[in-house]
A and B are shown apart, each in its own frame.
Chain A
């Protein structure tokens, strides 16, 4: 039991510097601001309740929102909150607002027929950062308040670790869903070919690469097996760093191929990949911790 607790603490609660987590905040909120800048939910106020199929907490609403001006104001507030979270200005309130308004604005479109699985992870990331101490360094608040730098703490490690874990579990869940709903037959060349060809008619992919690759049975077979293997490898990749690099590179290529072959764009997931960038790595964090200790 004690060794389990030690392993748990080693995984989630090692000591990190405040700057380490602050860099995550800047990158995450900065990217989310850029990605969601074009988002406009006002059009949903023109959609009739006949389409309304609320999910999650939206079931508490009496119906779809009808006030475009109100949605417009909330959008502006949300984008300002994302920006002020990135720079660390009125940090706690900004991040809480970013997460709460994000829940509403990113969740609203999902209540009209279908959940698009693009925005779930970014929202989780916003929520994690909102309750963390990610503004203890490299923030306007910190500069205004002054004082000595915060010493390294376990408080600065778990938020990034949790975000990375949830991001990889997204893919693991996708792999498990394929095996649960399709079984081993999902990994056949015929199934992969029908997906690639079918999307040419049901979506508007930017290229005809799917049509081209579908002509080769061995490529269809390879694509099917590689997709499931890559997605399932996300679970062990949580624990083995070398596998993690390979898995993340593979998943990134997979999502790029999905974009050009199927016309489905996982742009918000870019923020998830950014969480694993080397400059957010442990070595850099060690340097930060040393700098903080030596003043």
Chain B
């Protein structure tokens, strides 16, 4: 192995280990490196989450499928909305929900399209025996938007 190649290899190894160690110690993320903090916080038996409900001609329907708002999956979408919620800017949340209606409707036949979308904070008290299909024990509406009505 030539000396220059050896130096390059050493630099790559050292840089990779340094960034990994930095993220590992500090908990920071330098993607594609990272501290891999998934599921690392303490969880409570009082679960709070965000859930979407579509407004259709047939009433309100729960939307929790991973493809309901593709390309978003539920986990990414909820974290994104939590971030917007934390910013306290209601206009931005409304703008985001209108975008979600578009993302949903472009994949649906006309009859199944949403007329509106509601974002709720939902909660459950976790206990053994739950199956995941139980309705929320409480919910609070955060925002509600309606799709613009198509012209004649």
Contacts and interface: CB of A to CB of B under 8 A. Distances in A.
Interface of A: 12-13, 40-41, 43-44, 46-48, 50-51, 53, 55-56, 103, 106-107, 109-110, 112-117, 119-121, 123-124, 128, 131, 153-155, 158, 162, 165-166, 169-174, 176-178, 180-183, 185-186, 190-191, 193-195, 197-198, 200-205, 208, 211, 214-215, 264
Contacts of A185: 42
A280 B45 CA distance: 46
B121 to A, nearest CB: 13
Contact of B12 (A128, A178, A191, A197): A128
Contacts of A124: 16, 32-33
Nearest to A127: B32
B39 A195 contact: yes
B44 interface: yes
Contacts of A200: 130-132
B84 interface: yes
Given A113-B79, A173-B35, A51 B40 contact: no
Nearest to B42: A182
Nearest to B37: A177
B147 interface: no
Nearest to A200: B132
Interface string B74-117: 11111111011000000010011001001100100000000000
Given A162-B13, A195-B39, A201-B124, A173 B20 contact: yes
B5 A169 contact: no
A50 B92 contact: yes
Interface of B: 1, 5-6, 8-10, 12-13, 16-17, 20, 23-24, 27, 29-45, 47, 49, 64-66, 70-72, 74-81, 83-84, 92, 95-96, 99, 102-103, 106, 124, 126-132
Contacts of A13: 1, 6, 9
B52 to A, nearest CB: 13
A162 B16 contact: yes
B23 to A, nearest CB: 7
Contact of A110 (B1, B16, B31, B74): B31
Contact of B131 (A117, A123, A211): A211
Contact of A131 (B8, B23, B77): B8
A194 B99 contact: no
Contacts of A170: 36
B41 A204 contact: no
Given A211-B132, A215-B128, A123 B103 contact: no
B27 A180 contact: yes
B44 A120 contact: no
A158 B10 CA distance: 9
Contact of B76 (A41, A107, A112, A197): A112
Contacts of A215: 128-129
Top 8 A-B pairs ranked by shortest CB distance? Answer: A113-B80, A200-B132, A43-B71, A194-B43, A120-B32, A174-B36, A177-B40, A114-B79
A47 B103 contact: yes
Nearest to A133: B5
Contacts of B9: 12-13, 155, 158
A131 B16 CA distance: 13
A1 B75 CA distance: 49
B80 A51 contact: yes
Contact of A174 (B30, B40, B41, B124): B40
A279 B77 CA distance: 41
A193 B72 CA distance: 27
Contacts of B33: 120, 124
B95 A50 contact: yes
